[in-house]
Amino acid sequence: MTAERVEYDEFGLFHENAEEFGLPYDRPPVVRREWVEVAPDRRLSALVWQEAPPELVLLHGGAQNAHTWDTVALALGRPLVAVDLPGHGHSDGHGDPGPGESQIDADAADVAQALRHLAPDAGAVVGMSLGGITTIALAARAPELVRRMVLVDVLPGIKGERARHIIDFVDRPPTFASLDELLELTMQFNPTRSRSSLRRGILHNAEQRDDGSWVWRWARHRGPMAERGVLDPKVAEGLWRALAASAAPVLLTRGMRDDSVLRDDDEEALRRRRPDATVVHVAGAGHSVQGDTPVELASIIEDFVFGG
């Protein structure tokens, strides 16, 4: 028996974000989806907020998509671009790394292509988790696109044991019999989030197949997290060098709950390499600061990039 189809309007849920976090909402925001060809037969997709030239670029974490930033974008109220990274959301799969490159380098090359078209003059790139690692690689490859760098609960050299809960969740079987099954699993992984916010996130990040089952959008292209270079010590050391060499001012926003992936030794490593970096602790957030405390994160970004 085929399950009932679930209706989904990608741009019809913003009022829920605003209501949940007490943001003013008198009309839907102006948001459109665009695609940029980054290689023959391969495109990246992005959400473009407002009509004015984008002032910010937002890069999501692994197994997420551009909609993870919806509440942050509503709170900021600024023109910006939220990119679906390669192999995530509505974007096509990853490009092949060049000689001596990691998958992170290849992804950063794709993002650079997209940003030259969508947001060449943005004042900062904000990257969470995998998006933050990609931001560092982007700053090395195309420094003109990264005028300021905001890293959300990530630094090079993530310890595998600290990210184990995330890796285990991402590496589960990719298909689910129903939306309810997927929602229950996601609630177990995110016990502090509201049911409505998690359901909204699933609708943005998964799709229902013809037989009624559900599959994560990123699962179409996934490989083990280690294969993407996130946990590779050699890749991490190259990223540390890139971060140290970058002329862009750096902000680290660190979730302080136990489910974050950074600890004091990571922060100390940043301070050794970038003593000028700004670090902000967010007590109420875990790893996904943009999901746990999006309004507070928006205020932190506003202060750092635009002087509050």
Q: Residue 45 catalytic?
A: no
Q: Choosing from 153, 259, 266, 292, which is the catalytic residue?
A: 153
Residues 6+ apart with CB under 8 A from 180: none
Q: Residue 129 catalytic?
A: yes
Q: Residue 287 catalytic?
A: yes
Q: Choosing from 91, 102, 129, 246, which is the catalytic residue?
A: 129
Give all strands of the β-sheet with 278-282 in edge-to-edge order: 31-39, 42-49, 80-83, 56-59, 124-128, 149-152, 250-255, 278-282
CA distance 308 to 304: 7
H-run or E-run covering 185? helix 179-189
| Residue among 29, 33, 74, 47 at smallest CA distance from 301 | 74
Cβ atoms of residues 271 and 285 within 8 Å? no
Q: Choosing from 105, 287, 288, 292, which is the catalytic residue?
A: 287
- Cα angle for residues 226, 228, 233 (degrees, 5° grid): 60
Cβ atoms of residues 273 and 240 within 8 Å? yes
Catalytic residues: 129, 153, 287
